Amino acid sequence: MESSLNLKPGRVLIGIGGGIAAYKVCEIISTLAKSGVEVRAILTDSAQQFITPLTVATLSRHPAYTDENFWQPVHKRPLHIELGEWADVFVIAPLTANTLGKLAYGLADNLLTNTVLASTCPILLAPAMNTDMWEQLTVQRNWRELLIDKRYHSAGPGAGILACDRIGAGRMAEPSEILPQITSLLHTNGKRDLAGKRVLISAGGTQEYLDPVRFIGNPSTGKMGLALALAAMHRGAVVTLVHGTLTASVPSLAGGIIKTIPVVSAEQMHHAMRECLPDADLIVMSAAVADVKPADYSAEKLPKRSLPTSLPLAPVPDIVAELASLKQPHQKIIGFAAQTGDIVTPALDKLYKKKLDAIAANPIDQADSGFGSDNNRAVFLDNQGRHIEIQPCSKLKMAHLLFDFVQTISMANGK
C-alpha cells in the first residue's frame, strides 16, 4: 500500500501574562508566524506593562487582544468563545502565580482565563516567577492539581539566574524549548499515546579510531535522533538516548528528562544498546553506525611518515540485526537507511534481511534532507508491505510521523 502525506500548519493562541519573561514570547510569536502558523495573542493588563499590543500584533501579523476588546460588544460572537474554538494549541507564557491559581480553581475574570474555559484544545504552560514564589506550597499545589487535567502540558520552569538576581528554579523555558513542544502538540493534539512505554533510540555518528586523533567517521549530526527523542518524550514515553557525535545538546526541559548514554565507537554503542534492550518497548536505530573500523589501533599518534598507504579494515558489530534477533514479541525495532539514488530497494533488503518491523529510508543526496539538515524526507516501509512517502518537513515532524506509522503497525498486528 503506497501513500503520501502532506503537512499543514496549525493555529496557535498565545496568552501572555505579566512578567519580565514576556519578552521571550516575542521570539516564539515571530518564529511561528514566519513558519506559516496562524498566531493570535491575548495580553493581560499586567502583560502590557512589559510588552505592547502593537509589538505583538506586528510580530503575529494580526491584531492583539486585550481586556478592552473583551468587554466591548463589537464582535458577532463572544470573543472568548471565538478564540477558544479557533485555537489548535493554546500557549500561556509567562504563566504567573496569579493566573496559575485562577486556572487551578476554574476562575475566569479576564479575557485570558475566560478563553481557557471556552476552549478544548491542549494548553501548554510556561511558568515564570521568583524562586521563593515558585516554591510556595500553595503554588506547587496549584501546579500539581492543574497538571492532573490531561489538557495541560508543562514547559519548565527551568533554573538559572532570574531577573531579581536570584539563582534558582522559576526561570521561564527558552523559546528553543517551547517551540518544539508547540510543534508536537499541533501534530498530536495533546495525545500521550506513548505514555507508559520505554523508547530506546540511537543517534549520531560513531567514530572508529586509527590513533588518538584520526578516525573513520561520517557526517551525522544526530539531529534526527534528537528529534525522535523529543517527539517520544512529548508523547509521554520514558526515553533513553544512546548517542555518538551530536551537534546540539540533548533537551532536558519541555516536560520530561531524556536519559543519555554517550558513546564513541560502534562497539561501545553495541554494548550500550544490548544493555538497554531488555527494558525497551520500542527501539529506533537512527544512528549512523560505522560499517568497518581500522584493523589496528595505535595508542600514540602515528607520524605522518608512518601512516599506512593502505588501511586494513575489520568489521564492526551489526547492531540493528543483533537487536532484532534478540527482541521479544512485545518489542518493535525500527531501522533507518541513508541512501543515494534508489532508496527503496536497499531499504527493503535491509528491512527483511535484518528482520525489522519497519524502516525509514532517507535520500541523503536530495537538497535540505539527510545529514546535517534541519529538515528531512523519507519513505517509511514496514514488514506488512506498507509504503508511505513523507514529503520534506522538519525532523521533529518526521519523528512524529514515524511514531504514527509505528502505531499503525501495532493495529495491523492486532497488538
- pLDDT class of 142 with cuts at 50, 70, 90: very high
Confidence check: pLDDT of 320 > 70: yes
193 found inside a domain: no
188, 217, 236 - which closes a domain: 188
Please indicate, yes or no, whether residues 77 and 225 belong to a single structural domain of this protein. Answer: no
Confidence of residue 369 (pLDDT cuts 50, 70, 90): confident
Confidence of residue 257 (pLDDT cuts 50, 70, 90): confident
Catalytic residue among 26, 164, 276, 393: 164
* Same-domain check for residues 120 and 242: no
CATH number at residue 376: 3.40.50.10300
The overall average pLDDT reported for the chain is 90
Last residue of a domain, one of 169, 188, 207: 188
Report how many domains make up the chain: 2
Running DSSP on this structure, what letter comes out for residue 413? T
CA dihedral 191, 193, 196, 200 (to 10 degrees): -120
Same domain, 216 and 141: no
Q: Is 365 contained in some domain?
A: yes
Clarify whether residues 170 and 274 are in a common domain: no
How does residue 1 score in pLDDT terms, banded at 50, 70 and 90? very low
Give the Cα separation of 280 and 151 in Å (integer).
27
Do 151 and 212 belong together in one domain? no
Q: Are strands 2-5 and 332-339 parallel, antiparallel or unpaired?
A: unpaired
SS3 of residue 293 by DSSP: strand
CA-nearest of 246, 237, 252 to 287 is 246
Residues 140 and 45 in one domain: yes
**Among 188, 217, 251, which residue terminates a domain?**
188
Nearest to 153 by CA among 11, 255, 29, 258: 255
Same domain, 252 and 295: yes
The residue with cell 497488538 is 415
In a shared domain, residues 240 and 350: yes
Three-point CA angle 241, 242, 247, nearest 5°: 85
Q: What is the mean pLDDT of residues 36-47?
A: 96
Instruction: Check pLDDT > 80 for residue 197.
Output: yes
CATH value at residue 48: 3.40.50.1950
pLDDT at 2 over 50: no
Confidence of residue 163 (pLDDT cuts 50, 70, 90): confident
Give me the residues paired with residue 344 across strands: none
> Does 139 share its domain with 213?
no
Q: Which residues constitute the domain of residue 334? A: 198-412
Are 156 and 271 contained in the same domain? no
Angle between helices 53-60 and 22-34 (to 10 degrees): 20
Looking at residue 6, what is its pLDDT?
Answer: 39
What pTM, to 2 d.p., does this model score?
0.90
pLDDT of residue 256: 58
What is the model's pLDDT at position 210? Answer: 93
- Residue 7 — very low, low, confident or very high, per pLDDT cuts 50/70/90? very low
Residue 67: inside a domain, yes or no?
A: yes
- Most confident option among 69-73, 130-134, 191-195: 191-195
Exposure letters 155-179 (e unless 16+ CB within 10 A, then b): bbbbeeebeeeeebbbbbbbbebbb
Q: How far is CA 244 from CA 146, 313, 380, 398, in A?
A: 38, 21, 24, 21
- Using only C-alpha atoms, the chain has a radius of gyration, in whole angstroms, of 24
Average pLDDT score over residue span 233-246? 93
pLDDT at 38 over 60: yes
Q: What percent of the chain has pLDDT over 70?
A: 94
| 9 three-class SS | coil
Residue 164 catalytic?
A: yes
User: Same structural domain for residues 172 and 285?
Assistant: no
The answer to whether position 220 is within a domain reads: yes
For 55-103, the pLDDT digits (tens) are 999 999 999 999 999 877 666 789 999 999 999 999 999 999 999 999 9
- Would you say residue 9 has pLDDT above 50? yes
The answer to whether residue 267 scores a pLDDT higher than 80 is: yes
Residues 87, 180, single domain; the answer is: yes
3-class secondary structure per residue, 151-170 = CEEECCCEEEECCCCCEEEE
181 half-sphere exposure, CB direction, 13 A CA radius: 31
